Amino acid sequence: MQPSTSITRLLVIGAGAMGSQIALTAALAGYTTVVQDIALSRLDGAAAQLRERTDKMVKSGKLAEEQARRAHDRLEFSTDLDAVAPAADFVIEAATERLEIKKAIFARLGELAPPHAILATNSSTIGSSAVAGASGRPGQVCNMHFFNPVLVMECVEVVRHAGTSQATVDTTVELARSLGKTPVLINREVPGFVANRLMGAVQKEALALLAGGVASMEDIDATARMALRHPMGPFELMDLVGLDVVDYIAQATYAATGNPADAPDESVAALVRAGKLGRKSGTGWYRYSR
């Protein structure tokens, strides 16, 4: 894919799994990309992990060695937001899913980023309307929600709030396509957007079937894979996403709707309290070798 003609330099805020993979995706697509985080240790860890990812991609034949080298040449890492934000044409915030933190970031971006820059949040649970006002440029704010693992997953949800300009939507959709992704436009903010609402509905039914003794976890997952052609079953998917993330999404949705049907599932919450978070912890609904 060719980079967007109106964007040359991206800024990704947050060096976690999502932010670092978004940055590498952008660098592979030809964009000069800066990853900013307040912790130098996280930046160092992200840089090392991205090297490991591209090394594996090269060894597997999915990426040419020269492509990997050029992508890493386009990547920069910084703890200094004041220094890197003024040069950004497009910002993707992928920081901690806490509203007060995001508001503070968008307030600073509103002051530091160039007047033309679009400010997007990767949040899967917080609509951009909650941070748009803090930026001082609400028309240039939207959600640009990637899915984990970013390097593999094709879909990007572009979510406008009531004040998002059409130019912002058009540019964000164009950027997503230039990254090799398929954008889906969501015209109205709803808790969970589209993907998480669909996923949540399947998970809720799977949990009810298990709790009711209708079928085992393994058989529910097998049915989803073989009868519905899902790539993995709902319990397998929860483990992949992270049970803490699943529980947090449910909490955020319930807080937004107040609907008892959206209340977090106690069996998921119990696993989270026990530190059983899924694949990343080695155990969740299933056990994994690490």
Supply the residues annotated as catalytic.
124, 145, 157, 196
Long-range Cβ contacts of 252-255 (<8 Å, 24+ apart):
252/97, 252/125, 252/126, 252/191, 253/125, 253/191, 253/192, 253/196, 253/200
Cα distance between residue 172 and residue 214, in whole Å: 44
Helix residue spans in 39-125 (DSSP H): 40-59, 65-74, 81-84, 99-112
For residues 140 and 133, the answer to whether their CB atoms sit within 8 Å is no
β-partners of residue 157 are: 145, 184
Helix orientation angle between 195-211 and 266-273, rounded to the nearest 10 degrees: 90
The amino acid that residue 227 corresponds to is A
At 148, is the secondary structure helix, strand, or coil?
Answer: coil
Query: Which of 169, 168, 162, 171 lies closest to 189, judged by CA?
Result: 162
